[in-house]
Chain A
Amino acid sequence: MPPSIRGSALKNSSVLEAPLAGLRPARATWRLASIGPLLQPKFLIGGVIVLVLLVAGALAPWIAPYDPNAQNLAMVLKPPEWFLGSHALGTDAVGRDILSRLFYGARVSLVIAVMVVLISGVVGVGLGALSGYCAGAVDFAIQKFVEVVWAFPPLLLAIAIMAFLGQGLDNLILALVMQRWISYCRVARGQALSLRNREFVEAARALGASDMRIIVRHIMPNLLQSAVVIGTFAMASAIISEAALSFLGLGVPPEIPTWGSMLADGRTYISTSWWLALFPGLCIFFTVLGINLLGDGLRDLLDPRLKRSRTGIG
């Protein structure tokens, strides 16, 4: 194992050996998992929050009362009217409806987060499986790259990428993926290392399967459960990071409503119009909370072995 800059202590400690032990083919565990944990409060609460968010984002064009970018200078900085008036959560400095912008913001946050999680997952699990299965020079090269990216403080690399490459959806996704594939890769590599000598892999090899086929058909399906768990936590952190970058003015272009940019606008008017900053922040907080609760429940359900690794928080 090459020396690592960040966290070699944790990686080398015996507490993290657990994820490598007792692997069994993916499908069997899915079937064996009881539905008991599904009824846990954290799983239920997290699930409901995520579901509401998904619905709000998906149906935004139909349920939003106004166009999110429609300005109405006769109605600027109107305080929330709740269910009594036309602007339930008030309006911003150019008279745009906050509630409508929140719905559309949910859509943007979700689409970005899902894309980031999927791309990071494919890249991370793919490279991790390759690294663990091939070992040798391939493993060394991939792990050196992991180490270098890991050496950047989280968010700083994203900020640097956005600062140098400029604003835009593709750069934002690249910036967010850049550090998120690492956690998939580290766990996938560890598991692939132990899987490569298992009987079913040797059997496939004896039958003449190519390395690529073994990685894709035999190794990767076994890494899926951990990837799902890591994915939920990565999604929560992607939503926070996207909001942070938008808050700093480094996210998607300003004409697209996002919770982070709404929060940045709200900060300017914090002394007079509290609702501008309160609602987008609450949305970010509850979304991340919901995903974290769901992730925690999922981890207990699918992969208790991940419990102490850095991928799950705690």
Chain B
Amino acid sequence: MIGYLLRRLIGTIPVIVLISLLVFLLIHATPGDPADLLLSDQASPSDIAEARHQWGLDQPIYVQYARFLINVLEGDFGTSFRYSDPVITLIGERLPATIELAFVSLLIAVAFGVPLGVWAGAKPNSWADNFGSFFGFFGISMPSFWFGIMLILVIAGYLNWLPSSGRSTYGIPGGSESGFYIAESLLSGNFQAAWDGIRHIIMPAIALGTNMMGIIMRVTRSAVLEVMHEDYVRTARAKGIDESAVLWRHVLRNALVPVITVGGLELGTLLSGSIIVETVFAWPGSGSLLISAIQSRDYPLITGTVVIYTLAFVAINFMIDILYAAVDPRIRFEK
């Protein structure tokens, strides 16, 4: 296992270097001089010349790249034009909101997707299967941003059941140290604040999780369909075990392996989906930070967010591969 871990870790390093190269090339492909972009509009020609020297823009391109790579590795993405704070601090403040939203969306996707998939897969071509498949197609075809707008229109607008935007009505008394509103309120026993946080997160989480629910439902369905014909399922039935126990104890446990894998792969979709859902619901996460940075042409902040999202995604996939190898020993013995 340790050998596999090391092999995978070493395999990650060139990818990270190449990711930084791609982002570096993108910045350099931007029309105009990077110094013009990285300085505000008020900068004078002498400011620009000084900045060019200071940032090493008068150096050969490979020196510039090496410098960029070292800065990225040190977590130094420069200072935001708009907020005048270090980029890494700004993203750090907003990241918990995004993680909280992604986690609840994942929970919703799994809580609905897996049972629907098992239900559909256990009885192929029945009405349950048709119903489940309808939800599957609904989920994978639904644009999250439109679904979010419609939820706001109906649930917040007409029915007035849930708040339409933000993370909390009044904020946590005394502020939130970790940035995880719901978890922190629950742990400190402040159930009113926790309930307020939950009410705010429901709609964005549904909008974000629906697509993943559709994917998980479809994967679960096909995995269950496959496992249903295995010998050990027939054996379990022959032993006279109750059908629901066969389904949940024998079938689902074996069908879950591909579900975990696909679920893990789709976390990236969830991450990038959060960028757009956060914008719809004015959710104060790092995704909406990226969009406002693009609108104000805050290039250091854009670069920082893109690199951090990508590195987070690489890290998530790395962990899922490790988890998967722990669950399925066949993988770690492969070259």
Point out residues on A near B: beta carbons under 8 Å. 1-10, 12-15, 42, 144-145, 147-149, 151-156, 159-161, 163-166, 236, 240, 243-244, 247-250, 263, 266-267, 270-271, 274, 277-278, 280-281, 284-285, 288-289, 292-293, 307-308, 310, 313-314
**Interface assignment of B150: CB less than 8 Å from any CB of chain A:** yes
**Interface assignment of B276: CB less than 8 Å from any CB of chain A:** yes
Residue of B nearest to A160 (CB): B306
A313 to B293 CA separation, bound complex (whole angstroms): 33
* Number of B residues with CB within 8 Å of any CB on chain A: 72
A266 to B313 CA separation, bound complex (whole angstroms): 32
A164 to B29 CA separation, bound complex (whole angstroms): 7
On whether the beta carbons of B317 and A15 are closer than 8 Å, the reply is no
Provide 30 A-B residue pairs closer than 8 Å at the C-beta atoms, listed in order of the A residue: A3-B7, A3-B8, A5-B12, A5-B318, A6-B313, A7-B265, A9-B261, A9-B320, A10-B261, A14-B330, A144-B18, A148-B22, A151-B15, A151-B19, A155-B276, A159-B272, A159-B275, A163-B294, A164-B29, A166-B30, A240-B143, A248-B294, A267-B149, A271-B157, A281-B150, A285-B142, A289-B141, A314-B136, A314-B215, A314-B221
On whether the beta carbons of A153 and B310 are closer than 8 Å, the reply is yes
A274 to B146 CA separation, bound complex (whole angstroms): 12
On whether the beta carbons of B30 and A5 are closer than 8 Å, the reply is no
Min CB gap B133→A, angstroms: 8
The interface centre, meaning the residue of A3, A248, A314 with most chain B CB atoms within 10 A of its CB, is A314
On whether the beta carbons of B302 and A5 are closer than 8 Å, the reply is no
On whether the beta carbons of A156 and B310 are closer than 8 Å, the reply is yes
| 12 more A-B residue pairs beyond the given contacts A155-B276, A163-B294, with a C-beta to C-beta distance below 8 A | A5-B12, A9-B264, A9-B320, A10-B262, A163-B302, A248-B279, A248-B291, A267-B149, A278-B150, A289-B141, A292-B137, A313-B215
Min CB gap A70→B, angstroms: 26
Point out residues on B near A: beta carbons under 8 Å. 7-8, 11-12, 14-15, 18-19, 22-23, 26-27, 29-31, 136-138, 140-143, 145-146, 149-150, 152-153, 157, 214-215, 217-219, 221-222, 257-258, 261-262, 264-265, 268-269, 271-273, 275-276, 279-280, 290-291, 294-295, 302, 306, 309-310, 313-314, 317-318, 320-321, 324-325, 328, 330-331, 334-335
A20 to B142 CA separation, bound complex (whole angstroms): 32
Residue of A nearest to B130 (CB): A41
Residues on the A chain within 8 Å of B272, using CB: 153-156, 159
Residue of A nearest to B218 (CB): A314
Query: When the two chains form the complex, which single residue of B19, B290, B306 contacts A148, counting CB atoms closer than 8 Å?
Result: B19
Min CB gap A76→B, angstroms: 20
On whether the beta carbons of B14 and A144 are closer than 8 Å, the reply is yes
Residues on the A chain within 8 Å of B320, using CB: 9
A165 to B25 CA separation, bound complex (whole angstroms): 11
On whether the beta carbons of B27 and A270 are closer than 8 Å, the reply is no
On whether the beta carbons of B306 and A3 are closer than 8 Å, the reply is no
Min CB gap B7→A, angstroms: 6
Min CB gap A225→B, angstroms: 20
Query: When the two chains form the complex, which single residue of B149, B331, B335 contacts A281, counting CB atoms closer than 8 Å?
Result: B149
Min CB gap B15→A, angstroms: 5
Residues on the A chain within 8 Å of B219, using CB: 314
